[in-house]
Amino acid sequence: MAAKLLDGSVKVFGDTPVLCGHRGSGRGHEENTLPSFEAAVAAGLRWVEVDARATADGVLVARHDPDLEDGRSVAALPAAETGLMRVDDLFEALPEEVAINVEVKSALEDALRPREDTTAALVASLVARHSRHVLVTSFDPAALLIVRELRPSAAVGLLTWIRFPLRKAIPAARHLGADVVAAHVESFPPEAATPVRVAHEAGLEVAAWCPVPEERDALLEAGVDCLVIDDVTASAAAGEPARQRSA
Of 63, 56, 60, nearest to 78 (Cα)?
A: 56
68, part of any domain: yes
Of the CA atoms within 13 Å of residue 164, those in its CB half-sphere come to 18
Percent of the chain exceeding pLDDT 70 equals: 90
Distance, in Å, from the CA atom of 146 to the CA atom of 201, rounded to the nearest integer, reads 26
Looking at the domain assignment, is residue 6 inside a domain?
Answer: no
Tell me, yes or no, whether 123 lies in a domain.
yes
pLDDT of residue 153: 94
pLDDT at 164: 97
pTM for this predicted structure: 0.92
* Residue 193 lies in domain: 18-237
Which residue type occupies 106? S
Q: How many domains does the chain have?
A: 1
Based on C-alpha coordinates, what's the Rg of the chain?
A: 17
Instruction: Tell me the DSSP string of 172-208.
Output: HHHHHT-SEEEEEGGGS-SSTHHHHHHHHHTT-EEEE
Q: Which pLDDT score, from 0 to 100, does residue 127 have?
A: 97
Mind listing the pLDDT tens digit for each residue in 232-246? 876 765 556 644 433
Enclosing H/E stretch for 128 = helix 119-129
For residue 245, being part of any structural domain is answered with no
| Residue 1 pLDDT | 32
Asked if residue 3 belongs to a domain, the reply is no
Q: Kindly report the CATH number assigned to the domain that includes residue 69.
A: 3.20.20.190
Q: Where are the beta strands (DSSP E) in the chain?
A: 18-22, 47-54, 60-62, 99-104, 134-138, 155-160, 180-184, 205-209, 226-229
Could you read off the pLDDT of 149-192 as tens digits, one per residue? 999 999 999 999 999 999 999 999 999 999 999 999 999 999 99
Residue 129 falls inside a structural domain = yes
Does 242 fall in a domain?
A: no
Establish if 10 belongs to a structural domain. no
Sequence-distant (≥ 6) Cβ neighbours of residue 225 within 8 angstroms: 11, 13, 16, 17, 18, 180, 205, 206, 207
SS3 124: helix
